[in-house]
Amino acid sequence: MRFQFYKYQGTGNDFIMLDNRSEQFPKENNALVARFCDRKFGIGADGLILLENDAATDFKMVYYNADGNESSMCGNGGRCIVAFAKFLGIINSETTFMATDGLHKAEITERQVSLQMIDVDQIRQKPEYQFLNTGSPHHVQLVSDLASFDVFSEGKKLRYGLYGQKGSNINFVEQKEDDIFQVRTYERGVEDETLACGTGVTAVALAMYQIKKLKCNKARIEVLGGELEVRFEVDNHSYKNIWLIGPAEQVFKGTIEL
């Protein structure tokens, strides 16, 4: 069986996109997904995303990590599938779609995609870090000299040591200005540092506001793959109307056989 695929990237977070409205892709074959994502023996990507039909919204997003397992929400993947849906002619400038963490709204211009994230009602504060779920679980930790920080080793240690086999994504943060933060992320499922993580930078913005490092309700987040913006509203210690904003683009397309 041959599949047409499209490669998308959002601030360096790259994804294989498949139009699965015909339900032809063998979704239960996790080894196949992992092979497609393998950078030496497959197409290569941080994850694979299926666009499927949904009765109540414009489409459904099904996300797999690079290890082949279906996973929790991916923010940059969500922005990329919006760009893919527009390319396919499913949507115009606005959309609603279903993902594993529920309903999402999004807006798209020529190159920018703004994605509404789920509300966040709880941030667990510890002396050294914060933990919250923005569609995926995230550990947020301030460090100094982020450029030389060993993200892989320290991230892997926390991902398994602190959170067990199920794990958490690990974000290391350095504040550059009042509303500008640099972030590097170790992603579970990829089991390595990625160039960006959408749910991660969302978690960073909210966590920094929670501990009063961020004084306003928007933040610029610099990642290895570019820059993202997070905007939000605060209502009685809950975070609502959260938007993740940044570029998303098609890189190339091709065919691959099983």
Cβ neighbors of 240 (< 8 A, separation 6 or more) are 119, 232, 233, 234
Examine the residue annotation and report whether 37 is marked as an active-site residue of this protein. Answer: no
* Other beta carbons less than 10 A from residue 14's beta carbon: 25
Phi-psi label, residue 74: left if phi above 0, alpha if psi -120 to 50, beta otherwise: beta
Helices (H), the chain: 30-37, 75-87, 151-161, 198-210
Distance separating alpha carbons of residues 169 and 139, to the nearest angstrom: 6
3-state DSSP assignment of residue 220: strand
Give the closest residue to 108 by CA, choosing from 128, 121, 94: 94
Write out the two tokens for 26. Answer: 């063998």
Instruction: Using the CB atoms, write b or e for 55-68: b if 16+ within 10 Å.
Output: eebbbbbbbbbbeb
Distance separating alpha carbons of residues 136 and 75, to the nearest angstrom: 9
Reported for 86-89, long-range contacts at CB under 8 A and 24+ positions apart, including other chains, are: 87/6, 87/250, 88/19, 88/51
Distance separating alpha carbons of residues 149 and 156, to the nearest angstrom: 13
Write out the catalytic residue numbers. Answer: 74, 197
